[in-house]
Structure formats: C-alpha cells, structure tokens
Structure 1
Amino acid sequence: MSEEFTVLKDAEEFYYTGNEIGILVSHGFTGTTQSMAYLGKRLADEGFTVFGPRLRGHGTTPEDMETATFEEWIEDVEAGLGRLKETCSAVFVTGLSMGGTLTLYLAERHPEIAGIMPINAAVEMSEFESYYLSLKDKERFIDGIGSDIKAEGIKELAYAKTPVQSMGELVQLLKIVQKDLGKITIPALILSSKVDHVVPPLNSQIIYEDIQSDVKELVKLEESYHVATLDNDKEFIADQCISFIRKCME
C-alpha cells in the first residue's frame, strides 16, 4: 500500500558501507530517519556499516501510517538486521522511542546481537493506552507528538497528526516487548532524558532493572527532551554509543 505514497525529503532510509561492525539505527513512532541522521553519520564516520530503515507508513502521510501494523514494523527491523548480517560479523542496534522498543524486541529474540543502545525507549505506557482506549471509537487522528526538543529552533520531521489506529498498534508492541525484557542478556547502554514529555523516564529505569544483562548502564541525558538525537545531547549520545561499541568489541 505504501507504494502509492511519496517519501518525504530527509525521511528516506540511509545506508553507509563500512567495516565488519554493523549498526542498525531505528527512528520512532510517527517520526522519520531525519531524527537519526546525525547519529547514523557519526557512527559511519567511525568506519562502521550503518543502516537506518524507514519503518512502514512513516515519512509519507498519516493516512499511510494508519494502514501499517506493528508486525510490519518488526519485519522492517528484522530485515534491517538481516541485511547488516550479510556483510558484518557483529551487529549493534540502537533506536529512539519506539525505535528503542524495537531495539529491545530484537534483543529479546536475537542473543547474537553484540549490544543495544535504546534511547528514550518505551515499554510501559499505561496512560497512553488509556488515552488510546478513550479515543479509538471516536477519533481517527489526534495532534502529533513530534518535536519534543529542548534546543531552540530545531524541528523534528514527524507527522502533525497521529493516527489513532496506529496508537493501538504501538500499545500491542509495548506489551509484547515489556513481557520479555527478562530474556535480554546482551550488553546494553540505556540512554534516558531526565525530562521527557512523551515517554516517561521511568521506562528506562524499568528496562535497566528488568533486563538480565551482566553489562548494562543507564546514562541520563541532562539537556534534552524526548527527541534527544536532535537535541542538545546529540553529540554526547554519539560519543557514548561509539565508546560502548568499542568496549564491547575489545
């Protein structure tokens, strides 16, 4: 169905060919690869092979997103992981928001992944679920959640409206991922904004406590809101991710 829709400029997937260390970079709910472009480029500049897929229904129109399912978003990151494995001997996964949730999903099912770096990832959103349930039979779209950014003058390329149907898909994904957090045993660097108006920071604490990894660290982002990869801490996030990957590969 997506074929009927044109992909917005800066919302296209990106791929950088590099060495045998691959990194899958996933954007968030209603967002685009634009939010991950800086991090992707920084990782590529280190020589890594980097792939940032466009999740189904994203970067086109909210009407397109409405037809996408959480299973398709899972397929998109599974395919991305598979693509990197073709040329890379080690693969790391990072993602923002729902991209972080998908990162955790992959970690639960692929213990061969070398490490994960979820950024403001969502797993427990009971208020969001209640909001969705109150809307699902009444509204088709609500106001968008994009651009929760502390830095002035920075805008996220995200939908101005959110399909209510898609909120239901996200709710289902969160339940699946939260239930299986205890299956994660691979190294994890969890990055969490101190102030986040979209995903409560408690989510990162839950992830940190529930995963069973011997190597895990929760790093607070002091100067960013939800879209931290475009915010004041974007350089710090890239530095932390690069250092984490290097340590895991020692």
Structure 2
Amino acid sequence: MQEQWKVMKGAEPFKVEGMNAGVLVSHGFTGTTQSMHPLGSAFAEAGYTVYGARLEGHGTHYEDMEQSTYEDWIASIEEGYTWLKERCDYVFIAGLSMGGTLALYMAEHHPEINGIITINAAVDVPAMEPVRHMEERFIDPIGSDIKKPDVTELAYEKTPVASVGQLLDLMKKVKLNLPRVECPVLLFVSKDDHVVPPENSQLIHDQISSTDKTLVQLENSYHVATLDHDQQKIIEQSVTFMKHHI
C-alpha cells in the first residue's frame, strides 16, 4: 500500500562506502535526507562510510507519514545500523531533531555504538502535547526553522496529528532511558530554536551516564542547524569527535 507514494527528489536515502569507520545520519520529524546531505557529504569526504537514512513515511507525502509509527522510524535506523555494522568496525550516529532522539534510542539499546552526535535533539516538548488530542488530521508545518536567508528545508507542508502522537511516545520512551546511554556523546544546541526548546539538550547532557560528553552551543542557527550558519562548525567538530573515538 505504501509503495504508491514516490520519494521526493532530494529526499532519497544515500550510501557511500569508505573506511571501516561508519556514520549513520538521520533527519528529523517531517523532514528528509536533504537536511543531512551536507554532513553526510563532508563525512564521506573525510573517508567515512556513510548511510543517510530516510525514515519510514518521510520524503513522500504527509498522508504516508500519517500511517507510520515510531517503531517504523526506529526500524529505518536499525536497517542503516545493520548495513554499517556489516562493513565497519566503528559506527557512529548523527541525528538532527528527532534524528537525535533516534540516535539516543540506539545508544540506549546498542551499547557497542562508538559515539553519537545530536543536533537539537528532542525528548521533552510540552507544547506538542495538546496536539495529540486535536480533531484535525493535519496541522501547520514545522519545517524550515532556519536563520540563514534563502535556505529552505525539504519537509512536509502539513504535519499529521497522528504522527505528533507517535513522536510524543518516542520522546517519552527515550527520555525515560537516558541513563542507559554510556557511549561518548557530542551535543549541539541552537541558542534560538523555535521548534525544540534548547533546554532539551541540557537535560539530555545531565541525564545520560556517559563520562565523555560535550555540549556545544550554536550561536547563529535556528532548529535546522545542519542547513544554517553553523553548518561548518557542526561538521568540523563532529569529524574531530569521531576521529578521537576510533
């Protein structure tokens, strides 16, 4: 049934084979791989094997997303992780927004992961809770929270209410298990974020059990920081972080 939806141009998953250290990159809620292409390309240029995951129900049509669950999104990440594990001795995960939430989920369930990088990850967004109980099927979009002029995120023009409920359930699950995260973690947080309260990253930093954890503030980007002014800072510090852990 889901095959009827075509993947949008620019939203396709991507893979690049490189050295025996790999990185799985994940976009966020209602977004696409387009938001992670700059990071994926830079990691590939640095020699890493890269898997850019397209989360189930994303990059097609918002009605397709409406049918997907957070278990489907986890399965999309697990698939990429399996692909990398078959090729690499070291695996890292980098995620934007809900992609960061999924990176945390993976660290909670796969202690062998060598490290994760979260960019404006979400585990607690109280403003979303009332949405779960709305009668409408779709609400306004949340994409393209970008400070840089003339840059647009490839994301859905509507947000399925059912999917917000799935996101809330995922965040609750991940937040509860944060102490299970023990791998090295690099957290990026935008000072100004109109989608996920910046306090989320501090909360994550404080509740994970990792002894190797660094919280980096992004002064000149909004939520989709991977496409914003601090893009190069994220790339450079992420590459340094991964080099240090292989």
Q: Specify if TM > 0.5.
A: yes
CA offset digits 1:4-35 (Å, max 9, x no partner): 10100000001011000010000000000000
Task: Give the CA deviation at 1:2.
Answer: 2.4
Following superposition, the deviation at residue 246 of structure 1 comes to 0.8
Q: Which residue of 1 aligns with 2:93?
A: 93
Q: What does 1:134-213 align with in structure 2 at a 5 Å threshold?
A: 135=134, 138-213=135-210
3-state DSSP of counterpart to 1:41? helix
Is this contact kept in 1: 2:119–2:189, CA < 8 A?
A: yes
Match of 1:20 in 2: 20
| Pairwise CA distance, 1:198 | 0.1
- Given the alignment of the two structures, is residue 125 of structure 1 paired with residue 125 of structure 2, yes or no? yes
Listed one character per residue, the Cα deviations across residues 126-156 of structure 1 (whole Å, up to 9, x for unaligned) are 22113333x1xx1000110000000000000
Q: Deviations over 1:183-241 (max 9, x none)?
A: 00100000000000000000000000000101000000010000000000111100010
**Could you tell me how far apart the structure 2 residues matched to 1:53 and 1:86 are?**
16
Pairwise CA RMSD of aligned residues?
0.7
Shift of 1:161: 0.4
Matches within 5 A, 1:4-153: 4-133=4-133, 135=134, 138-153=135-150
Query: How big is each residue's C-alpha offset from its partner over 1:41-80, in whole Å with a ceiling of 9 and x where there is no partner?
Result: 0000000000011101100000100000100001110111
User: Percent same amino acid among aligned pairs?
Assistant: 54
By how many angstroms is 1:116 displaced?
Answer: 0.4
Aligned residues, how many? Answer: 246
For residues 184 and 123 of structure 2, the distance between their equivalents in structure 1, rounded to whole angstroms, comes to 18
Aligned 8 A contact 1:2 1:56 in 2: no
Query: Gapped runs of 5+ residues in structure 1?
Result: none
Match of 1:140, as an amino acid?
R
TM-score, normalised on structure 1? 0.97
> What is the TM-score normalised by the length of structure 2?
0.99
What amino acid maps onto 1:78 in structure 2?
E
Equivalent position amino acid for 1:202 in 2: E
